[in-house]
Structure 1
């Protein structure tokens, strides 16, 4: 049994719980936006994404792609085609990082089946499905909603998405061939310098499907959230430059960031789930 498990839960104030419930409802409402009007993107006879009509028409002008039957059809050579999208200014930057390309729907395939690998910068423009991890780090079980036990990182001003917004201890997309646990361990080491995660200190907060428009395309993503009681005496340090600095905050301070739109939405969701576990309802 971990020290956290031995410590009785505390009860959050009614005012905090009311604000927490309102924030959860508002966030959840924006996490699934109907994509029925989007153009399906097909690869090897399977739907792997959905994107807006204007973007689909632009992509269809590239060699090997076409609009057929109301869908954007991609060629089989995704590596060469990805380079063509980049050169045409139709990608979301370029990372040199591969993610698993998964089926959204298909007659002879199950949603989630991996059908290839593709450059990360193409996923949002094509509305292809991604998977990501979000880690809530806390020093101990909070004594109240005003106890500053949660460690947050402020995103670098140079980030393409959400520059300057607050994030959890670590977050990022799961790379090709990785499991959620492997992705979580890698992101924690790369972003916060946490080299080892003890299974006894880690809690799964669940997963959620996200479908909503984002800058440069559409997000279709499975988000895996975790909470971690951090090792005693350990302090985070920005390693890869994606985080500007870290701060310890209370649940109340974090909630104020969320209400003010100053936190990444997926990180906010993970934080709210953690509050529900660590502060008794």
Structure 2
């Protein structure tokens, strides 16, 4: 590439980032200079997001759902009405104490996967399972267990299986040491959370793919981040929650990654899932989370974790330990 062409491309990247920031509605415009900002005052609202994402915890604890077991090991939670529908497939499901179990004749993972897939095709045809993704999730008690069976992602909350994902905080460190986060606005045509603010990249953790492989894949697909740059992402922990949805229990563990990006790099939408990217000071992101519901709800937890780890939230702030504990409210196995 010629020097002139390189300069032109760099200028266009900078212009893209500036244009994206200018396109943000007033509720999400970052001021040029950071005003004094009280992160301690954000904690009550941050606790609200923890409670919101854990709307299913009480229902699970109160035995409002039926256990789904395989070989005596619990892998899911079923709404009673959904369990009754599954019992209409007696070659696949049967009663087991107060819950349901896969039929013992389904002795292998492959047999169970095929049998459950056949049931799901019927339920999909009835309109009971919506948002089909053609992506398989493992039904497991814990992340490193061998899956009891594999199941279509769209059916995960119906079966109350644990689902895992990777969420990436893309950020830039300024010369003064302050940090700015790259924020994505989800496409308004997406069937889930259209137009909401999101991380630079994130995705469910499918079967057969390593977490770091998934990080690199999602960064490239959603934000056009080159492999060599995405591979710098660092695993920094996880958050978990149990959410109550119309389909059932959404039991999620989100693996958190930090990706420090060069100041002159600007992500670009690629796969149609993101409408635009904006770079915002950390304080402005916290302000949006505190004063609006612009963010996809579970993203708030991952960003709160970022604030803890980068020193924006400190032990002298009231509610610090309660908030820290709340980020891991779900089953972390």
After TM superposition, the score normalised by the length of structure 1 is 0.82
Shift of 1:248: 1.4
Q: Residue 159 of structure 1 aligns to a residue in which SS?
A: coil
- 1:55/1:230 CA distance change after superposition, 3 Å: same
Shift of 1:88: 2.4
Farther off after superposition, 93-102 or 83-92: 83-92
Structure 2 residue 158 is the aligned partner of structure 1 residue 120 = no
Does the 8 Å CA contact 2:185/2:195 hold for their aligned counterparts? yes
Does the 8 Å CA contact 1:136/1:227 hold for their aligned counterparts? yes
Shift of 1:114: 2.1
| CA deviation profile, 1:174-228 (whole Å, cap 9, x unmatched) | 1111222121111111111112255895333311222111353221111111121
Out of 116, 125, 138, the residue aligned to residue 87 of structure 1 is: 125
Equivalent residue pairs, number:
263
Shift of 1:73: 3.2
Give distance in 2, aligned partners of 1:87 and 1:142. 56
Match of 1:50 in 2: 77
RMSD value, Cα: 2.8
Out of 245, 254, 258, the residue aligned to residue 214 of structure 1 is: 245
Out of 25, 34, 41, the residue aligned to residue 47 of structure 2 is: 25
Structure 2 residue 293 is the aligned partner of structure 1 residue 261 = yes
Q: Residue 204 of structure 1 aligns to a residue in which SS?
A: strand
Shift of 1:15: 4.8
Give distance in 1, aligned partners of 2:273 and 2:251. 23
Does the 8 Å CA contact 2:216/2:230 hold for their aligned counterparts? no
Out of 58, 73, 93, the residue aligned to residue 65 of structure 1 is: 93
**Which structure 2 residues correspond to residues 36-185 of structure 1 after superposition, within 5 A?**
36=61, 37-62=64-89, 64-74=92-102, 76=112, 77-103=115-141, 112-141=145-174, 143=176, 149-185=180-216
Farther off after superposition, 197-206 or 225-234: 197-206
Give distance in 1, aligned partners of 2:236 and 2:282. 16
After TM superposition, the score normalised by the length of structure 2 is 0.70
Greater strand share, 1 or 2? 1
- 1:225/1:141 CA distance change after superposition, 3 Å: farther
Structure ID, larger Rg = 2
Runs of at least 5 residues in structure 2 that lack an aligned partner in the other structure: 1-33, 104-111, 315-333
- 1:111/1:138 CA distance change after superposition, 3 Å: closer
Structure 2 residue 223 is the aligned partner of structure 1 residue 192 = yes
- 1:68/1:116 CA distance change after superposition, 3 Å: closer
| CA deviation profile, 1:147-173 (whole Å, cap 9, x unmatched) | 7x2111111223232222110101110
Q: Residue 131 of structure 1 aligns to a residue in which SS?
A: strand
Q: Residue 40 of structure 1 aligns to a residue in which SS?
A: strand
Q: Residue 82 of structure 1 aligns to a residue in which SS?
A: helix
Structure 2 residue 261 is the aligned partner of structure 1 residue 239 = no
Give distance in 1, aligned partners of 2:228 and 2:45. 29
Greater helix share, 1 or 2? 2
- 1:113/1:191 CA distance change after superposition, 3 Å: same
- 1:125/1:138 CA distance change after superposition, 3 Å: same
Shift of 1:81: 2.0
- 1:266/1:205 CA distance change after superposition, 3 Å: farther
Give distance in 2, aligned partners of 1:115 and 1:141. 47
